Structures are given as C-alpha cells and as structure tokens.
Structure 1
Amino acid sequence: MRFLLLIICTLVFGSAYSQNINLKIFGKTDLETKIIDSTNYTKTHPNTLFIKNEIETITRTLEKKGYIELKPNKLKKINDSLFTIQLSLYKRYKQLRVYYEELYLKEDIINKISKNYTRSYFDLPFLEIENSLNYLNREIAKTGFPFTKLKLSNFTINKDLVEAKLTVINSRKKRVVNNIIIKGYEKFPKTYLKHYLKIKQNQLFNLAEIQTKTNQLNNLNFANKLKSPEVLFTQDSTTLYLYIDKIPSNNFDGFLGFGTNEETNKIQFDGYLSLNLVNNLNFGESLNIFYKSDENDQQTFEINTKAPYLFNTPIGIDLTLRIFKKDSSFTTANQSAKLNYQINAKHKISTGINSTTSSNLLNTTQNTNIDDYESTFYTLNYEYLSLNSNNLLFPIKSKFYIEGGLGNRKTNINNQQQSQFTLEAFNIFYLNNRNSFFLKTNNALLSSNAYFENELYQFGGINSIRGFEENSIYANLFSVINTEYRYQLSSNIYINTIFDAAYFENNITSTKEKLLGYGLGLGILTKSGLFKLNYANGKFEDSNFNFSNSKIHISLKTSF
C-alpha cells in the first residue's frame, strides 16, 4: 500500500514539475535584449505550444512599434526546462506614409488621425496604425458601407520612412435602411420614430448612429429600449429591428395638507388632485387635469393637452385652460396655445399666445386693487429635460425652463404695456449611490407701471416654499430656492431635509420680504405609488419661530 502511494505521488509531482518550461528571448545586442525585455513577455509556460504563441505575440508587438525588419531565428531547446530564441530587431521605423484615394477618404476625416497629410498620402506613427485604421473603417461604414475592409499593401522602405498603399474593399452599392420592424411595442408612434429618434426608411445605414439614437428612448416617459437594435442583411435589402417596451405612463397625484388657522386656532385642510393621461392613443399625446382647493378658500382648475408632431410634422401643440377663483373676490380665466419644436430628445423650443380674462366679484368700493381686465401676451419658451429612467424615486434628474412674454392689459379706463418672465430649474447632484443633493429655483417677474391684485403671481406651499399656506403670498416678483439633502435607506425609501428660501416684492402694498422654510421629509415607494410625507415650518425673516405655523403635507403619486 505504501509503495502504491509512493508511485502516485511521484507521478503527480513529476507531472507538475514537467509543466514548468522557461522561455528566454534575446537580441543581437544588449540594447535589443533590453527592448525585448521591456515588453514584459511571459517567461514560464506549461508546454511548447504556449511558447510558440508567446513568440508570435512578441513579434507582432515589436512590429507594431516599428521593427518591421525583425527576423526570428530558430527556437532552441537547451534542456527539458529551457527554450531560447534570438530576435534580430534591426532598425526601428517611426513613421508610416500611407497613400490613399480621396474618393473614399475625405480631408476632414484624415486630419483627425494625422498631423502631416495631403490629398494623396498621410503619415502615421507606427504605434497608432491599428487604432487609426479602425477609426477610418468606422467612418467609411457611416457612409453606408458597413462591410468595408481596409488593407495595407505594397510596403517599401524609403530611407527612414516606410511607405504603403491603403486599399479600401467594399461593395459598390451603399446600404440604406429599407425596412424598420418594431418588436415589443408594435404600436409605437411612427411620428416619434421619424422626428424624435430621426430614424426613417431609405436613410444611409449607420449602426453606430442608430444605437446612439435608440438610447434616446430612455428619455421618453411612455417607452424605453428593451435591448440594442439588430440588423438583417440580405443581398438587396437591409432590415432594422428595434426592441421597444411600452411602460405605464398615466399617473395620479394628490396631496393633503393641514395646519392650524392663526385666527380660529382650528385645523384647516387643503389639497389637490392631478390626473395625467399619457399616450393612451399611441400618439405620444398627453392630457392633464388638475384641481386644487386650499385653506384660503381658493380654487384652481386646470386642463392641459399636448399633441406632438401634428400631421406628421416636427411641430407640436400645447393647449391650456386655467380657472382660478379667490373666495368672493375675483375669478381669473387663462387660455394659452403654444406651438413647439422638439430639437432633440432633451431640448424643445416653443412660441405661443397667452390670453387672460379676470372679473372683480366685489363691490368696487371694497377693494380698489381688484379690477376687471383682459390681457394678451406673446411668449417664447425653451425647455431642457433629462430623465432618470431607472430611478423610480426620482424619475427626473434635471430641468431648465425659461419663458419670456410681451403683451398688454386692457381695462375700461386704459391700456397698459406689460412684460413677464419665468424661470424654473432644478438638478439632482449625486454624491454616491445613497446620498444626493437636490437644488431647485423658481422665479417670476411681471413688469408693469401699475398692478392689480388679481393679476399678481401666487406662491407658497408644497410646490414652492414649504411651511407656508398654499398660494397665500401675492407678488409681482418672486424668487424661490428649494434645497434637499436626500439619503436613500433602500431602493424604495428615502429621507430628506428641507431648507427653502424666498424673496418677493409686492408693489401694491410696497412689500419686500424674505422667507425661510425648513423641515424634514420621507418618501416611500409602495405598490400603490410614491408616498411622500413632509413636515415644514415657515417664517418671515424678522419673525420668530412659531410651532403652530408648521405644515404637514401628505401626497401620493401612482402610475397606471
């Protein structure tokens, strides 16, 4: 038994020992040997096949560095554990001059890879030949030749310069996209395919460009990309397959807020409901219905519809009707229509008209700052929007919206030239996977020689400066900054701080004030939707903290 174990151990250790074969590569001179050693080639191998592969690898590496006259001598076996080979490097050439035909390669492409070029040749460092040829191949493929091959031939040596001819091998007929087939979401709006993704039939086939364009699907709120596009080539046609998934995009949003009335010391409730229907007709359209009633006996009703790419053109339309009623003081009806142009997935510009009619419900002697009027503004807008398609807690990463308008206000007494300006922007700054910082600003300005209370902006509450009653502050100029530090406890729970600051002016009452709001928040992604709970306290700059001024806001946003 011991003798059998001895034989097994001898065979195992003998086999393990025999697998270690050393390789020694050297040059004709000590300098050549140092150059070879600088490649850090592998010196220990399990068998001779690995040794031969290593020699071929080192040979190609040195040739790419410019040792194109390299000659390997015969591999020698010194003993069972050592093989040697001599590589004669000879002269190193640093530049390759490539002669080409301008028919396939234009000057604007050549100047990206070469500092010294003409219409017939360009120079390349040997170390950059492979990457440069790959770049040229990709550029030619973009022109409708996806099966292009580049070949260097007719090598000659002219003093210190190596010369070669570049041959471009491709089919004579350019490839175009003949057919587009959508898998997954077959009713994906064709207008979005043409104007949003800018992919259409009979355009030159460029796979890299198509892949970039389909990534823009993740900026849509009703569809995303399932996987990368695929292509079927036949002798006479090119068929493009796009894999798109339709995602739930309708959402219902509402909140309930309550606080203590300073006059009655009783709890008052306020809230809003928002229903947003998106892409139910598979045209990319949306319909938003909004209703809000707050503790100041103010009611707001708004309906907005958006129809993109009308009549298969890149032009879309936005229509809005907004009705606001302030107790028994006044009502204001606002109508707006905008024509927009989607520049690309994130940028949009629009122009439109905004018409407002307001009626005084009071006896004229009760409040001389409220009056009947009609106003018309012509507006110009720009919007940037970047989505977080994979983040259900914070689906929008960045937004920038700016609008300017010129118009006039008519009353029974006179006409007044006016201008208005609004700016809204926010961004989420990610510190790491769990920590982020949210920064938002909201600004508005109405410029006029005289003002009515029923034409001023109203702000305050959960969607502006938190800790104040909804729409309780009237201003002809205001600026609000919202900040939140957010910490994600898990993929569906986060907590956040609240620190808001605002400045506003009311020229009717000659008021200029600074406001502060601070508190804490909680967000939970449930099966029903995103549940938010905010606790905030607001104060004027010169006032003291009062616990009774605190506001609690509860909201739930659900998608279906």
Structure 2
Amino acid sequence: MKLFLKIFFILFCVFVQAQKKHYFLIDTETKVKKKVKDSLSAVKFLDSLAQNNYFFTELKDVKIKGDSTEIFYDKGKNFNQTYVNLSDSIVDRFKLEKEFFTKNLDSVKKNINKKYIDDGFAFSRIKSQFKGQKNGIPVVELDINKNNKRTIDGFVAKGYTRVPKRFIKNLEKEFKGKTYDDKNLIAINKNFQSHPFITLERQPQTLFTKDSTQIYLFMEKKKTNTFDGVIGFGNDKTDKFTLNGTLNVNFKNMFNGFEAVNLYWQRNPDKGQTFDLQTDIPYLFNSNVGLNMKVNIFRQDSTFANVKALPAFYYHLNSRQKIGLRGTFESSAILDSLYIQGKDYNKKGIGIFFDMTEPTDIDLFLHKSKINVGYDFLATNYTGENIKANQNQFYFFGEYNYHINGNHFLNIKGEGAMMDSKIDFSANELYRFGGWNSLRGFNENSLAADFYYYAGMEYRYLIGNQAFFDVFGQYGQLNNKSLNVKPKLYSVGLGFNFFIPLGLMSFQLSNGNEFGNPFKFNDIKIHWGILSRF
C-alpha cells in the first residue's frame, strides 16, 4: 500500500511540473540510472519489479531539478522462493493444488503461462500479488489475464505466389480454425520442409488484429528440373565387358502448377532398352484429383518388344499421401520367330495404388521415407494361341532413412512383386529387375521372375552436408516358373556421394551373385552418375 501511495505522489509531482521533459529512475543499491520517457513509463517499471519477485520494492525519494525528475528506489531482495496461492480459475482449469511452496517461482509462472498459450491464449499474462509473509517467506497469489483465444483464420502468400490455388486451400483445410500454438506452427512449417517445388524464405510470420489471426507465408520457387545420368561398367552374360547407362530428365513446375514431365531411357549390357514418358498433373481443375499418364516401351535386342500405357487418376489424402485408380493397356510382339519362350499377347485391366512420401531435411537424401503399394487385375489374351486368362499382380516398395546418431544413418529398403495366373507365363511378360536402383551388383534388368523380393541395409556416414560414404548389403529371392528356378541372391558394395558445382555425383562399386556360387572379382559392377538441378 505504501508503494502505491508513493507512486501516486510521483504522478502528482509530475502533474505539477508538467512542463518538465526528462525522467530518471535510479537504483539506490546499484546506482544504475535509467532514463524513461514519461511518468507513466516510470510507474510501469516500478510495477513490473513488484510483478517479478521484487515484492518489497520501495520508493525512497523524488528530486526535481530544473527540467529533470529523478526517482530513487530500492527494489529489495528477489524472492524466487515463495508460498504460492493459485486463483480458482487456474486451479479449476489445470487441476493443480491451490496452495504450495516452490523454490522457483519463475518456473511456476512460466509453466502455467505456457499451458494457456498452448490452449490458444497467445497474449496471456500471469499476474502476481503479494499477500504477506509466512515464516519470513513471501506469500504470492497468481492469477491469469488470458485475453482472447486465438485460432488460425487464414494464410497470406507472399513472394512466389503463383502456386496452385488448391495448395493454399489444402493448407486452410488442414489448419484453419485450429488453435494458434507452437505445435500447429511447427506443423505448418514442416509442410514446406523439402517440398519438391517451393520453400520458405523465412519462418511463417503472424499478423494479429482484433478479430483475426493471419499466417504470412514468404515462399520462393525451387530449382526443380533435374538431369540424372548414370554410366555403368560390367560384364554381360558372355563375360564380355560392356558399357551401359541411364538418362533420366525431369521438367517440373514449369507452368507453376506443380506438374511434372519425366523422360527416362536405359540401356543394359544385354542389349535391352527401356524408354519411359510420364506426365503428372496433381491438381486437375483446381481440385485434389490428379492425373498421371505413363507410357513404357521395352525392347530386348531383336527378340521382342513390349509397349505399356498406364493412365491413372488419384486423390490427395494430404500433402504426403495419395490413393488412386489406374488402367493398364499392354501389348507384346515377338520379333524373332526362333524365340519360342515368348508369346504375343495383349493385356488390359484396372488397379489401385497408394503412395506416401515423407520429406527429408538432408539434401543428400531424396526423402526420409517412401511407401508405394499397388494391385492390378488384368485380362490377358495370348493372340497367337487364342488363349485368354486373368492375372493378379501385386507390388510393394518401401524405404526409410533412420538417423542412428550424429552423422550416422541407416537406409532400409525393400521391394517385391508377384503375378498370379492359372496358366504359365511367357518369358516376355515377366518382371525385370536388378541394377543401380534395385538389386545392385547385377546388370540392369537382367533378372526375370513372376515373383521376387529383395531387402537391404545401407550404412551412411555424412561428411558435413556435402557428401556421404556408404556400405551396403542386400538379400533377395526370385521365382521363375517357366525355368523352374528359385535362386537366393545377395549383393554387397560401397560408394561415395558428394556435391560438386554440377550437382550430386555418385560413385559405386557392387557385386551380386547367387548363394553357393564362388565370388568373382570380374563380376564387380562400377556405376558413376550425376544428379543436376536446373
């Protein structure tokens, strides 16, 4: 009470000397002199001391000298050890004890205030009131000034704004109306981490008005076009040294619709060639429905050629997951009449698929995790023999980058596929796998099967954020009914990946073989590649 009477005296003196311009607060203990702009600022400063554990702040003297007013005060001892008496509103909301002793009043106030902030009261303030002493220790009552609860009311795009409208609508659908707190702000920011097309120049900013809370997103467009080239060296089936390679060019977001066009070509040592053309439009007519069109052509030297079209529509479950329907139209023609293992056929059918991709914060990795699962029902017509049969096909791919600790990571990857039918499959319709992006240590697409799986682990040691060294091992098995073989396979190897001005360069040595066969150094495969963004 004495403190407030003395503060009233200050205000009275200031009123009398209204023409005076300079105000100084002087700590009698430390002699620290603090200038404030007016009398109201002086009162707020002294009140803040009482609110921050200096419960016995005492006004000592006020001296007026010409155009200066000097206010002398003694803040006394800082009592962080107190008896706490909580207001009924705090007790009822968080089910806390009404009275207790604490050795850290600051921590108690901070924890209570954080609970209110997490509930959306962004401008809540804990009020302290000195209620006397108990055994020489202050008794303090804590109450809350909550102000209004804040929820996220919308987003405002800044910087690169030519993003699909549906992208912003999806953000609003996910976050609009939710509590304004750290948890949701982190989730919003995470939506942009390693987004394939855009990034944030800075953390999301917030504009508070009396009636709304708007999140400002300062976006910028990424360089997303990529060129991925791989050159491979190894021996073919006749142990002859051959050169093979892969070219993969992606044009992405050129028209600011998050669209993508992919061109892929591959040549393997056994004279097989693959060509893919794929187009993806993620937001058709400003909706969450996307369109994917893919054409695949495979030719095995002068033996046979396959052509496959895969039109698909999918729906965005959220920013990382999608589910879709796809059609399959495939035909194969035997080019060499002496190739009796193959058959001319036509296939058509429908399937479903699910895709999930979790982004990564590490530029050296493509993603943190990825899952792709699919099922197709196909009607097959073997035209040369006038035989018809139905087929079921299943596919799974999964990958996860596990952070062990520090610079140590473990990449876990697995893939499998199966086709099922009442009749035997021809050799030209089997799955083809093996090589750089699947079971390494084998030539590209050199393994053929109606059922296969493989899984592997790759230890990665990061050197800063510019390179990593890896050692890997893989195990797999395939089933080829037409040849009546079920070999168990393995591959081992090591590699080095690092950034250069052109992009991410990769170098890898690998060796794969069937269990039971002797290890041959001349079967080692060498791959060198570069991934460049432009």
> What is the TM-score with the length of structure 2 in the denominator?
0.75
Q: Distance in 2 between matches of 1:72 and 1:385?
A: 59
Counterpart of 2:20 in structure 1 is none
How far does residue 307 in structure 1 lie from its aligned partner after superposition?
0.8
SS in 1 for 2:203: strand
Instruction: For 2:355, give the aligned amino acid.
Output: E
SS in 2 for 1:98: helix
Distance 1:71 1:491, change over 3 A: closer
Distance 1:282 1:125, change over 3 A: farther
SS in 1 for 2:294: strand
Note the residue ranges of structure 1 that are not aligned, 5 or more in a row.
Answer: 1-45, 64-69, 76-82, 101-106, 117-122, 156-161
SS in 2 for 1:396: coil
Q: Deviations over 1:148-196 (max 9, x none)?
A: 668799x9xxxxxx9999775449xx8874772412x232333222225
Instruction: For 1:371, give the aligned amino acid.
Output: K
Q: Deviations over 1:486-514 (max 9, x none)?
A: 23345423332232221111111111001
Counterpart of 1:195 in structure 2 is 170
* 1:435 aligned onto 2:411: no
Distance 1:366 1:229, change over 3 A: closer
Q: Deviations over 1:86-117 (max 9, x none)?
A: 9999x9677753389xxxxxx9xx5xx3389x
Instruction: For 1:288, give the aligned amino acid.
Output: N
Q: Deviations over 1:422-454 (max 9, x none)?
A: 111122223344332222111111122221212
* 1:496 aligned onto 2:467: no
Q: Distance in 1 between matches of 2:484 and 2:57?
A: 92
* 1:98 aligned onto 2:89: yes
Counterpart of 1:505 in structure 2 is 479
Instruction: For 1:329, give the aligned amino acid.
Output: T
Counterpart of 2:397 in structure 1 is 424
* 1:385 aligned onto 2:360: no
**Conserved in 2, the CA contact under 8 Å of 1:354 and 1:377?**
yes
> Does 412-421 or 455-464 show the bigger shift?
412-421
Distance 1:523 1:93, change over 3 A: closer
Q: Distance in 2 between matches of 1:346 and 1:353?
A: 23
Counterpart of 1:245 in structure 2 is 220
**Which aligned pairs between 1:59-208 and structure 2 lie closer than 5 A?**
97-98=88-89, 110=93, 113-114=94-95, 131-141=111-121, 169-170=147-148, 177=153, 180-183=156-159, 185-195=160-170, 198=173, 206=180, 208=182
Counterpart of 2:206 in structure 1 is 231
Distance 1:87 1:403, change over 3 A: closer
Q: Deviations over 1:106-151 (max 9, x none)?
A: x9xx5xx3389xxxxxx7978767634542344244xxxx656687
Counterpart of 2:388 in structure 1 is 415
Instruction: For 1:345, give the aligned amino acid.
Output: S
How far does residue 344 in structure 1 lie from its aligned partner after superposition?
2.7
Counterpart of 2:509 in structure 1 is 535
**Which aligned pairs between 1:6-21 and structure 2 lie closer than 5 A?**
none
Alignment partner of 1:311 out of 261, 272, 285:
285
* 1:354 aligned onto 2:328: yes
* 1:322 aligned onto 2:322: no
How far does residue 283 in structure 1 lie from its aligned partner after superposition?
0.7
How far does residue 243 in structure 1 lie from its aligned partner after superposition?
1.1
Distance 1:371 1:138, change over 3 A: same
Counterpart of 1:404 in structure 2 is 375
**Conserved in 1, the CA contact under 8 Å of 2:497 and 2:505?**
yes
Alignment partner of 1:48 out of 10, 29, 42:
29
Q: Deviations over 1:238-272 (max 9, x none)?
A: 65431112121110111111223453x54211111
Instruction: For 2:95, give the aligned amino acid.
Output: S
Q: Distance in 1 between matches of 2:242 and 2:29?
A: 87
Q: Distance in 1 between matches of 2:295 and 2:471?
A: 35
Q: Distance in 1 between matches of 2:56 and 2:78?
A: 6
Q: Distance in 1 between matches of 2:78 and 2:369?
A: 59
Counterpart of 1:21 in structure 2 is none
Q: Deviations over 1:216-244 (max 9, x none)?
A: 11131121111122234456776543111
**Conserved in 2, the CA contact under 8 Å of 1:196 and 1:342?**
no
Counterpart of 1:459 in structure 2 is 433
SS in 1 for 2:115: helix
Counterpart of 1:273 in structure 2 is 247
SS in 2 for 1:316: strand
**Conserved in 1, the CA contact under 8 Å of 2:83 and 2:99?**
no
Q: Deviations over 1:451-492 (max 9, x none)?
A: 121221101111112221111111011111233222334542
**Conserved in 1, the CA contact under 8 Å of 2:253 and 2:259?**
yes
SS in 2 for 1:216: helix
Q: Distance in 2 between matches of 1:268 and 1:473?
A: 17
Instruction: For 2:422, give the aligned amino acid.
Output: N
**Conserved in 2, the CA contact under 8 Å of 1:230 and 1:241?**
yes
SS in 2 for 1:212: helix
Question: How many pairs are equivalent?
Answer: 469
SS in 2 for 1:500: strand
Distance 1:50 1:379, change over 3 A: farther
Counterpart of 2:188 in structure 1 is 213
**Conserved in 2, the CA contact under 8 Å of 1:137 and 1:149?**
no
Instruction: For 2:497, give the aligned amino acid.
Output: G
Q: Deviations over 1:60-93 (max 9, x none)?
A: 8999xxxxxx999999xxxxxxx9x99999x967
**Conserved in 2, the CA contact under 8 Å of 1:233 and 1:239?**
yes
Instruction: For 1:393, give the aligned amino acid.
Output: L
Q: Distance in 2 between matches of 1:88 and 1:510?
A: 84
Counterpart of 1:9 in structure 2 is none
Counterpart of 1:525 in structure 2 is 499
> Does 279-288 or 442-451 show the bigger shift?
442-451
Q: Distance in 2 between matches of 1:289 and 1:302?
A: 6
SS in 2 for 1:345: coil
How far does residue 528 in structure 1 lie from its aligned partner after superposition?
1.0
Note the residue ranges of structure 2 that are not aligned, 5 or more in a row.
Answer: 1-26, 33-46, 61-73, 103-107, 132-139
SS in 2 for 1:370: coil
Q: Distance in 2 between matches of 1:496 and 1:71?
A: 64
> What is the TM-score with the length of structure 1 in the denominator?
0.72
Distance 1:152 1:336, change over 3 A: farther
**Conserved in 2, the CA contact under 8 Å of 1:98 and 1:164?**
no
Aligned alpha-carbon RMSD (Å):
4.3
Instruction: For 2:525, give the aligned amino acid.
Output: K
Counterpart of 1:555 in structure 2 is 529
Counterpart of 1:80 in structure 2 is none
**Conserved in 2, the CA contact under 8 Å of 1:257 and 1:269?**
yes
SS in 2 for 1:311: helix
Counterpart of 1:372 in structure 2 is 344
> Does 504-513 or 314-323 show the bigger shift?
314-323
**Conserved in 1, the CA contact under 8 Å of 2:260 and 2:279?**
yes
